[in-house]
């Protein structure tokens, strides 16, 4: 699972949060993503400048030093897979969007 940054104002806090996910530890990354999504409304109500502090204080996350590299790789994968919207989940080459989306645990079982 990788989180894709989109240049839309309502998604900016999520884009900032994406930089705090450490994909080198997949289990911890998934746990972090779930934790952030559980508090998504609170996160979205913050000013952009407050997101990093919020993630550090409330989710015990730090900026991933490889965030830029991850973002570039994710953008390549977005292009390769022809993705156009978020959220899109790809499991074993199958894309799930809109009404096909299910809770992430259910989608991961398909993998």
pLDDT score for 5 = 82
What pLDDT digit, counting tens, does each position of 35-63 carry?
Answer: 999 999 999 999 999 999 999 999 999 99
pLDDT band at 19 (very low <50, low <70, confident <90, very high): very high
pTM over 0.85: no
Average of per-residue pLDDT across 16-34? 93
Q: What is the DSSP string of 10-57?
A: GGHHHHHHHTT--TTSHHHHHHHHHHHHHTHHHHHTS-GGGHHHHHHH
Of residues 108 and 47, which shows the higher confidence score? 47
Q: Which domains does the chain have, with CATH numbers?
A: 9-109 (1.10.1200.90)
What pLDDT digit, counting tens, does each position of 63-82 carry?
Answer: 999 999 999 999 998 899 88
């Amino acid at each position: 699972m990788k989180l894709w940054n989109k240049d839309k104002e309502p998604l900016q806090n999520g884009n900032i949060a994406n930089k705090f996910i450490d994909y080198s530890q997949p289990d911890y990354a998934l746990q972090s993503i779930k934790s952030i999504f559980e508090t998504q409304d609170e996160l979205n109500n913050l000013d952009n400048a407050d997101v990093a502090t919020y993630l550090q204080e409330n989710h015990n996350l730090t900026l991933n030093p490889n965030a830029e590299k991850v973002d570039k790789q994710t953008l390549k994968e977005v292009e390769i897979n022809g993705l156009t919207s978020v959220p899109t989940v790809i499991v074993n080459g199958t894309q799930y969007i809109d009404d096909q989306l299910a809770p992430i645990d259910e989608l991961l079982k398909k993998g």
